[in-house]
Amino acid sequence: MLLRKMLASLFTTLLSLGGLTILSSPFALLITAFQVWMFIDAIRQREYIWAALIILGWGLAALWYYLWVYRSSPSSTRGFELPGAFDKRRMKQLESQIHYLDNAHHYSQLGDLHFQKGKLEKAESCYRLAMERDPQDIDTRAHLGQCLLRLKRPAEARPLLEGVVAENPKHEYGYSLMALAETLTALGQKDAALTIWKRVTENHMYPRAKVQLAEFYLERSQVDLARTELHEVLADDAHAPAFQRKRDRVWVRRAKGLLKKVAA
């Protein structure tokens, strides 16, 4: 209902700007379509302030939203972020520190920033430079494993992640354990992956874990178990803070799509 009302407001605004002229120009029509696309995404992500700005600012506000919000997480790593936040200023600081100090920890942190930007080849290079200087660092090994997994090289990722989990099963609040489950899935070892997903969801409410566990249940025709996991994802999202909804939106959308299939 809210989406319909705000869409009506958007089209009213467009018409007040000269709707017939807008719709008669191919270029203006393209901008209008882009604005509607960004507006709908803002509503879905509960970015209501952005939605209002998109209504009021024809074209330009939609472009700002696309650059600063929609593209904030690159497609190659969207939904698979490492713990922590991306900071452009920190990248410059690290590059300077590496130049003068050549420290393993700085290389690893720079790799994390490249990972968050979706520049996985650069991230891998930084992680390997860090491991040359400190091959025992658990964070570097874990993040290199996750990077290799996203580069579609799970066989290389597996020994790194297995070593990390053996050393610390709770490493990074279960993120390394989730990466290991995804690695085993990519290698076709689904029974082992299922065991790990159950282990993760016993201790955490991550949508990333619960959705993938639900997918395993659906593969085994365990519809009720899958439905329970998916409903919990949506219930948690309704009360989650804005930063968490933004981080998990890929998995929430996936949960909604799976529930539709189950209902059908």
How high is the pLDDT of residue 52? 78
Q: Can you give the CATH number for the domain in which 130 is found? A: 1.25.40.10
Residue 105 has pLDDT above 90, yes or no: no
Q: Which residue has the tokens 């993120």?
A: 175
Residues 21 and 123 in one domain: no
- Write out pLDDT tens, residues 166-225: 999 999 999 999 999 999 999 999 999 999 999 999 999 999 999 999 999 999 999 999
Residues 128, 180: Cα–Cα separation, whole Å: 19
Which of 47-61, 101-115, 207-221 bottoms out in mean pLDDT, i.e. has the lowest?
A: 47-61
Residues 200, 242: Cα–Cα separation, whole Å: 23
Residues 80 and 179 in one domain: yes
Residues 106 and 176 in one domain: yes
Structural domain harbouring 29: 2-70
Q: Which residue has the tokens 């082992």?
A: 192
Residue 196 falls inside a structural domain: no
Q: State mean pLDDT over 224-250.
A: 91
Q: Of the candidates 187, 215, 236, which is a domain's last residue?
A: 187
The token pair at 261 is: 């299939």
Query: What's the structural domain count of the chain?
Result: 3
Residue 232 has pLDDT above 60, yes or no: yes
Which of 37-46, 129-138, 229-238 bottoms out in mean pLDDT, i.e. has the lowest?
A: 37-46
Residue 47 falls inside a structural domain: yes
Q: State the burial class of residue 114 (Cβ atoms within 10 Å of its Cβ: 0-12, 13-18, 19+).
A: buried
- Write out pLDDT tens, residues 87-103: 556 766 777 777 667 78
Could you tell me which residues come within 8 angstroms of residue 182 by beta carbon, excluding any fewer than 6 positions away? Answer: 149, 193, 212
Q: How many other C-beta atoms can be found within 10 angstroms of the C-beta atom of residue 198?
A: 13
Q: Phi then psi for 53, rounded to 5 degrees?
A: -65, -40
